[in-house]
Amino acid sequence: VLTFNFMNCKTNSDFVNEILNKCENCYENGVLTLNLDKEKIIFKGNSSQTAIFNNLCIESSRAKQKLVFENFSFSSSKSLPLIKSSTDIDIEYKGTNKISSTSSDKVSLIKSLGLITFKGTDNNSSWEIQPNAVTSSKEGSIGVEANNVIIDGGNFVIQGSNGVDYSENDTSGTSGRNGSSGIKATETIIQNKTNVTITGGNGGNGIVVSKSDGT
């Protein structure tokens, strides 16, 4: 078990130092690569802080790695998933947790090539996933993308982002862009005592342009 404890972190540099003290060569340019031989990795945050760290992405490559989040909120402006795994991944959550993206490109906030299991450890556990609305001529961002998704316990809120409205700078036409799915998966299973809200994003507004020359 490896624990990153950020309850006393005040700045991003404190966060980085905490990481560097725990593992060597695993953090660079806002990406934390968890190729460590640990069955469970715990991110322990501070319930009084709304954001522990900005511009963070977590990548896991170990088979069936378990990530545990407790009062941990983070966001990223990078055009890549905030949590990414090349294998099955278990995510347990305690307390209040949130991830969000300020990226203007289409991206899945949590992405796995296999199975993602979200497990709330008690009735007060919450996990909120909130993509940002895109600002370019692309579709909205997906909350969770995997082959299969299981949501088991706690309070779970996830949304896909809205599509961008039509802009005269968008040369693709007069239609707005599609919103995206909260969850994109072959199968999603919701089980046990789980309070779940999953919403897709709205499509962007289109417009009919009328110019003085009649076009």
Residue-wise pLDDT tens digits, 12-55: 788 888 888 888 888 888 899 988 788 899 999 887 776 777 78
- Listed in order, strand segments (DSSP E) in 56-204 are 57-60, 65-70, 73-76, 83-85, 89-94, 96-101, 108-112, 115-120, 126-130, 142-145, 148-159, 183-184, 187-199
pTM: 0.86
- Please provide the distance, in angstroms rounded to a whole number, between the alpha carbons at the two ends of the chain: 65
CA nearest to 164, candidates 130, 126, 207: 207
Residue-wise pLDDT tens digits, 153-190: 999 999 888 877 776 665 555 567 788 899 999 999 99
For strands 57-60 and 108-112, give the pairing: unpaired
